[in-house]
Structure 1
Amino acid sequence: MNTSLLSLRAYNFFYFSLLSIFISFLPVYLSFRGVTPAQIGVLIGAGSFIGILSQPFWGMVSDRTKTIKRVILVTLGLSIVSGIALFTTTPFFALFLLVGAMYFFLLPTDPLTESLNYRMAEQHRTSFGSIRTFGAVGYATASLFIGWTLDRLGMEQLVWLFVGYGVLAYLCALAMKDAPASSKPLSWPELKRFFLYPKTQRFFLLVLIAATPHRTNDSFLGVYVQSLGGTTGDVGQAWFLAAVSEVAFFAISARILARWSEIRLIMLASALYAIRYVLCALAPSPEWVVYLQLTQGVTFVIFYTATIQYLYKIIPEEWRATGQTVLAVLFFGISGIIGSLLGGWLFQQSGGAALYWAMGICSAVAFVYSLMLASSKSSVGGAGM
């Protein structure tokens, strides 16, 4: 096996394992520390706002310096330091600052990693999914292992799990190769035209609508499972099943993308998202919610890979890292703010079932909008979509 791809796949495994701790278990950790659902929404919403600023910033640093690996080493290293402080802290104000630091360093590492994966896949003439699958496997195994461990040893041990996965991810990042830089000069006017293009604006609006309920689920899945009587182990199992389904669909994503247009795949994913969240709202027990996460592969993977492929078709080559971070701003930033703030308020006021009904309705709106775009002559991607 190619050693550069081997180290990149190992890095994906441990980085997404680390990310699973932050995304899957941060709300559970905050709840353990006595933070209310509304306060969790404020913390994650504020962090998502910081992500709006930090993700384009680090993406532009990468484009300007013509390196992805070195930027990842900086953001990942500072993430590990911030995470150690976060998972040993109890005062609300300190939690607020440290969650913000994690959103400034750890979340921008995600789009940089995806950009590196895509470029290295192109260079080695392999599929993006064949690399990204290892990240999904890491997320799956870490979710199950961490949930099982915390059930037996206590939430206080979360910091040691974070340190372990963080150090392994950093060592793999040191060993991996950098992505080939674009030889084209950066062109601000070209980037400005890209963002002012109506096709681009319609595409990003669709991403925002569809991503908001997804990010709401990221923030409140664990809290919802526990509100139905589930344990931390159940939360880990839910994320494990979600990530296992991602593995399967990342493995076949190249064939799916080659056969179907991006907008139609986004339309399919939005419809399935709506069904998934409505079923979660109707769930009579935590086990139902846990097993419904098996639909994550057919929803998230299809949606996310289709949006990345379409973005890379329309954005100038020299601005790909920046474009990837703009997509991440929508997916993890703006949608995260909307989902966490409104979701936290709705959860506290009306309960988890009402929240998941609202998420299902939002996904249905995304489906209708994508259907309109697919049937319009001026839709996203034009006739080819």
Structure 2
Amino acid sequence: MKSSLVKRPDQAWLRAFLFTVFGAMVLLVSYFPLYYRHLGFSSTQIGYLYAIGPMISIFSNMFWSMASDRYGTIKKVLLVLLAGQMLLALCLAATSSFGMVLFIITCFYFFYYPIYPLADTMSISTAAKYGKNFTTIRVFGSLGYAFFAIVIGYILTSAGSSWAIWVAIGLALISLVIGFRLHDQSSGAPGKMNVSGILDILRSREMLWFFACVFLLAIGHRMNEAFLTISLQDLGADQGLIGWALLVSSISEIPMFFLLSLYGDRFRELPLLIIASLMYVLRFFLMGIVDTPVGMMAVQAMHSVTFGIFYVTSLRYLTRLVPSQFRATGMALFTIVWSSASGLLSGAFGGIIFEEAGRTAFYYTAMAFSLAAFAGLILKPLLVRSTDSVTADSPTEF
């Protein structure tokens, strides 16, 4: 008997694709700040470089996701994005001035950020096609992140931070090759975008409340993401140890993904989101206290009960509120709030706080934003009534 992967090659290729593109994410999130420091940029300049991507992605996520919904294709859009990434990374490797790096990375981010909501949309559609759980596919992204966190860490320890760009080019090329083998998926029937339908969803008080809490929680998450590697380096960690720290966080979320896939539907979304936000408060409080790389690595294991719970539960909640024909656009809106708008604020002001006030004040600021999100989630039943009828579709199985 043929294995299920042979019978369903679209799942196998999609898992390989997620493994690679989420592996590439570790470069942008964790090793590019070290590359910028290698070029001689200050923490404030690094913060600006981190912030420009989320600002651009506010527009790029909507542009490419609406194009995907409009033309009924995800695969072709992904191929265009990967080709653009590779070409711009080649340009980035040829310059070292802050002005040119800022310009090129701005263009690069236009093709970089939309890949992840579109990949998640394809995963959701493929899982629904075979009656599978979304996390059984998405977990390969976490495995790729964990694998490349270690591999890239040791490569850059041996070769130097200057090779970060060439590793990014190689991963983009591999992802592009795998992308040609993907089976195309659509979040809905192709046709003219019904913008009024999206506006109706955004008029929902529950949706606006949800996005507001996501935004507050994401600020702290993105602050940690942008300056974790720099914090570790300042405490004396080399890039190999930094890779292990990233491995701890990415591996820790995998068991949580599986647990939520098996038992998550026994719990309502709101209590799970409240638990995740409270754990974020504790996580950033501890990050402000520890003063050794090993201590930071230990705290990073809380990624499982923070991001692991929050991400899966948020997608489950989002698919209940957004009709399936707007799935790609709904994911883009979530990504704009979770990554783009929050990344813009955390990068621009986080770098200033880190440079002027120090690491402890930096993490206590992140904790304050998480505490505000926790308060918003606790008060939700008093302030916002549920609007399950906002979508006529049944929720996607997670």
- TM-score, length of structure 2 as denominator length: 0.92
Residue of structure 2 equivalent to 1:339: 346
Q: Which residue of 1 aligns with 2:265?
A: 258
Match of 1:221 in 2: 228
Cα distance in 2 for residues equivalent to 1:286 and 1:170: 36
| Alpha carbons 1:263, 1:380 under 8 Å: kept | no
Report which stretch shifted further, 80-89 or 128-137: 80-89
**Distance change >3 Å, CA 118–CA 191, structure 1 → 2:** same
Which of 96, 101, 105 in structure 2 is aligned with 1:95?
101
Q: CA deviation at 1:244?
A: 0.7
Q: 1:305 corresponds to which residue? A: 312
* CA separation of 1:375 and 1:76: change in aligned 2, threshold 3 A: same
Contact 1:282 1:353 in 2 (8 A): yes
Counterpart residue number, 1:362: 369
| Shift, 1:163, TM fit | 2.4
Correspondence for 2:393: none
Percent of aligned positions with the same letter in both sequences?
28
Report the CA distance between 1:375 and its aligned residue.
Answer: 5.3
* 1:281 CA drift (Å): 0.5
Q: Which residue of 2 is the match for residue 113 of structure 1? A: 119
1:181-217 CA-partner distances (Å, limit 9, x unpaired): 5238642222211111211111111110111111111
Amino acid at match of 2:229: G
* Count of matched residue positions in the alignment of Structure 1 and Structure 2: 382
Q: CA deviation at 1:361?
A: 1.6
| CA apart distance, 1:377 | 6.2
1:254-279 CA deviation, whole Å, 9 max, x = no partner? Answer: 12431211122111111101111110
Q: Quick one: distance in 1 between partners of 2:243 and 2:289?
A: 21
Q: Which residues of 2 match residues 33-48 of structure 1 at below 5 A?
A: 33-48=39-54
Of 242-251 and 363-372, more deviation after overlay is shown by 242-251
Residues 51-79 of structure 1: CA distance to partner in whole angstroms, max 9, x if unpaired? 11111111100000100111011011111
State which of 274, 278, 288 in structure 2 corresponds to 1:267: 274
- Mapped partners of 1:31, 1:381: distance in 2: 48
CA contact (8 A) 1:184 1:317 kept: no
Structure 1 spans left out of the alignment, 5+ residues: none
Partner of 1:286: 293
Q: Verify: 1:5 aligned to 2:11, yes or no.
A: yes
Deviates more, 1:325-334 or 1:93-102: 93-102
8 Å Cα contact 1:84/1:163 also seen in 2? yes
Amino acid at match of 2:299: L
The residue number in structure 2 matching 1:249 is 256
Which of 160, 169, 174 is the matching residue for 2:166?
160
2:284 aligned to which of 277, 285, 297: 277
Aligned-residue offset at 1:86: 2.2
Q: Read off the aligned partner of 2:232 and give its amino acid letter.
A: V
| Equivalent residue, structure 2, for 1:328 | 335
**Segment of structure 1 superposing worse, 38-47 or 67-76:** 38-47
Q: How large is the Cα RMSD of the aligned pairs? A: 1.7
Structure 1 position 123 matched with structure 2 position 125: no
Is contact 2:10–2:182 with CA below 8 Å preserved after alignment? yes
User: What secondary structure sits across from 1:89 in the alignment?
Assistant: coil
Work out whether residues 44 and 340 of structure 1, in 8 Å CA contact, stay in contact via their aligned partners in 2: yes
What stretches of structure 2 of length at least 5 have no aligned partner?
390-398
